[in-house]
Amino acid sequence: MSQTFHIPGQPITAYVQRIEIKKLREGSNLILGFSIGGGIDQDPGQNPFSEDKTDKGIYVTRVTPGGPAEDAGLIMGDKIMQVNGWDMTMVTHDQARKKLTKKSEDVVRLLVTRKSLEDAVRKSM
C-alpha cells in the first residue's frame, strides 16, 4: 500500500497479482517452497519488507530457488493478501501458515501485492 498508511477500520485496496502455486508432493508431504513472516501476533517493526512499519500482514521472507513458489512467480518481499479466498491481512502467523499448508489442497491461489506492482500500474495510468 502507498505512503499514506492504512487507517485501521478502513478498507484496504491494493493492486494484486494472482499467483497459483501447485504444491510439490514429496512422499506424504506437500511443500510450497517459501517462508512467511508477520501476523497480527508478531512485531511488525521487525519486518524488513514492509513500507508501513505498523503493517501486520503476511510477507514472503524467502523463496526457495527452484521450488514451486519460485516457478509460480512469487518474489521475496511480496505481501500475501489472500490464500484460496482466505484473508491474510488480519490473521495470526500460525493461522496463515495453516491456511497455506492444508493437506487436502494441492493448489494454493494467492493474491499478492508488492511495491513494484503498484508503481508499475501507477506509471501505466
**Binding interface with another protein (CB under 8 A):** 18, 24, 26, 28-39, 41-43, 46-48, 61-62, 64-67, 82, 84-85, 92-94, 97, 100-101, 103-104, 106-107, 109
The CA distance from 3 to 53, in Å, is 11
In terms of CB distance, is 8 or 27 closer to another protein? 27
In terms of CB distance, is 35 or 75 closer to another protein? 35
Where helices occur in the chain by DSSP H, the ranges are: 68-72, 93-100, 115-124
Question: CB of residue 31 vs another protein: minimum separation in angstroms?
Answer: 6
Question: CB of residue 3 vs another protein: minimum separation in angstroms?
Answer: 21
Decide: helix, strand or coil at residue 38: strand
Query: CB neighbours (10 Å) of residue 120?
Result: 12
